[in-house]
Amino acid sequence: MKIKYELLKEEKNSKARLGKIITKYGEFETPMFMPVGTEATVKTLSVEELKAINSGIILSNTYHLWLRPGEDVVNKAGGLHEFMKWNGPILTDSGGYQVFSLAKPKDITEEGVKFKNHLNGDTLFLTPEKSIEIQNKLDSDIAMSFDECPPASADHDYMEKSVKRTIRWAKRGKEVHNNPNQCLFGIVQGGAYEDLRKLSATETVAMDFDGYSVGGVANDGENKKMMYDAIDFSIPYLPKDKLRYLMGVGEPIDIIEGVMRGIDIFDCVSPTRLARHGHALTKYGKINIKNSKYKEDFSPLTDTCDCYTCKMGYSKAYIRHLIVANETLGARLLSIHNIRFLIHLTEELREAIKNDNITEYKEQFIKDYYGSYEKAYGEYNETINK
């Protein structure tokens, strides 16, 4: 059964959408934050813990699973769901982002991309067809087209050539996609250039994918204005009856702004990465639990969170001790909390859409979490909030 999307409501003061994803695992409301399980695991967490914090779709990484254990091993295991024992929807990325971080510009050709295996230095070659073949075997619920993700700082000439190549690659990938139970999403690129976003979106939508992603954001050389412009320049050309996915975005204000611009689903490695470095997301901002002021702070991370870490009353002092002592439990407890924080954020955004008060919600969130618009948006505050 392919995933289906149903638009339930549009918020009257913005482009925010309340939707429903219908899957063989159940129904899930959007907007949604998706935890990232790069190598068929969300770092340090079990699938039971992911279910307990109300995770819906989770991600796995095509590039990493291609290298180990290999798509054939996963396929023999019965696909990703059986391999990792996740009874819920899975999205696999195309592997493109990792490939392009390893490749040199001269190694990107019409046929595909040559790059070095980061594990052993072997020369590898990834094409749109190979990316789709791997994802077919992984048997995820949503596969992503293979695209080039150029730096946001790329000039218009390079970006135009890249966009046109990505369009051709999307066509090639779609032609070989042969998993009847798997959705295939197209990716809109074009940096912060309005004409290129329009070109990419209209050409990609013309191929009639099952859903669409706004790509090329949250990468090198990009600022918040460029990110929001990229969304604004793409959304008008995307169909209302299909999912819209903003790739690699996990900063709370960016999720809020993305939702208000019409995005449905988000993913990012940030909550677990922050956790491993001792950072916790709280209603009143991000804190560094390693700070000495928490050494004798026996209160929980927050008294308003319903995650396991907070409900059990694990104190800041104890979690700080675990992190400082490099004990894995510290990263686990913070990962549970941080992922739950972002999932809860999208749950609150859904309520705000239902109540048509998302603007008021954003203003209160900024006041509580960031303290000011300047801290939320940085130097681009005035440009973004004219």
Return the H-helix or E-strand segment holding 287.
strand 285-288
Under 8 Å between Cβ of 345 and 255: yes
**Who contacts 54 (Cβ-Cβ below 8 Å, separation ≥6)?**
340, 343, 347
3-class state of residue 180 by DSSP? coil
* Nearest of 3, 19, 7 to residue 349 by alpha carbon: 19
* Nearest of 101, 145, 153, 149 to residue 127 by alpha carbon: 145
CA distances (Å), origin 9, targets 29, 59, 149, 262: 11, 26, 32, 11
- Measured from the Cβ of residue 306, the count of other Cβ atoms closer than 10 Å reads 12
**Who contacts 292 (Cβ-Cβ below 8 Å, separation ≥6)?**
none
* Nearest of 157, 155, 170 to residue 200 by alpha carbon: 170
Q: Which two tokens stand for residue 84?
A: 């990792």
Catalytic residue numbers, as ranges: 93, 267
* Nearest of 229, 240, 281 to residue 262 by alpha carbon: 240
3-class state of residue 39 by DSSP? coil
Task: Please state whether the peptide bond connecting residue 69 to the residue before it is cis, i.e. omega within 30 degrees of 0.
Answer: yes
